[in-house]
Amino acid sequence: MLLTVFSITAFCQFTQRDLPPNLVTYDDAPYHFGFTLSACSWNFALTLEDYFDDEWYYNKEDGPYYVMALKDNKYYKVREIQTKFLHPGFAVGVVGNLRLGEYFDFRVVPGLSFGEHTLSYKIEVSDNPDNTANSATYITEEDKNSDKVECVFVDLPVLLKYKGKRIHNVRPYIIGGFEGKANLLSGVGYAKHTRDELSSLKLRVWDIMYTFGGGMDFYMFWFKLGVELRYGCSFIDTRDKLDGKHFCTNSIKSAKANQFQVIFTFE
């Protein structure tokens, strides 16, 4: 999709190369405003506990490790944890741009983003953990081996933008900085979780990312259109520590969020 937008916009600008450039004094303004529309995706970079793939949990109703709504008195172990690469979401924001010089701008882009995170677990079940060759099976039901958490973030990216030389109505740029995020849905519904459930992923309220990317500005007749690809990664563990009830998420030492965005700016 991004390549299509780039191609169409660049073609339109190229066909007008013999016409006078648009918005010739636009970049001389000390500040300007606009808004953004973004397509987003999130996943996790996981660090697992040292005992991962080595700890068996005995599923006994009156025992300390009763972790599933299955009264089967069997042993369970997490063999693999995966996070889906693409989780479609979207975001909207307001642009505040301060001109620092001919090639540099300072930008603040507060906004809201909507999406979700999902973790999938490969769980081994055994009657006898000392002899798993003949007794081991795996849970495959999606409702028993995955966690899905919906998120609504208040975003506050603080960015430095470096602009290349303008060529007619096109100007490339690179951008980077830091982004603070507040999860409005952190912990919502978490109190209802019990140890009868397979696991329960809870995210922190606050997160901070470093973010960088690049794109192209296209100077239209009435406004400037920016098409940008940006990546962000958390500095901190975004997962709240759990209470020891859920053996799947307790196998995770840290989960740092990755964010991918295709951003369209209108300024």
Intervals of the chain under pLDDT 50: 1-3, 5-6, 8, 11, 13-15, 65-66, 196
Domains by residue range for the chain, with CATH: 2-14+31-266 (2.40.160.20)
* Cβ proximity of 43 and 258 under 8 Å: yes
| Per-residue confidence (pLDDT) for residue 180, from 0 to 100 | 93
| Reported pTM | 0.79
User: Which pLDDT does position 234 carry in this prediction?
Assistant: 93
The string of pLDDT tens digits covering residues 93-125 is 999 999 999 999 999 999 999 988 878 877 777
pLDDT value at position 5?
A: 46
- Helix H or strand E encompassing 45: strand 31-48
Confidence (pLDDT) at 66: 46
Give the separation between CA 150 and CA 30, rounded to whole angstroms. Answer: 39
The DSSP secondary structure of 96-155, one letter per residue, reads EEEE-SSSEEEEE--EEEEEEEEEEEEEEEES-TT-TTTT-EEE--GGGSEEEEEEEEEE
Query: 172-191 in b/e burial notation, b at 16+ Cβ within 10 A?
Result: ebebbbebebebebbeeeee
In the DSSP assignment, the letter for residue 164 is: -
Length in residues, the chain: 267
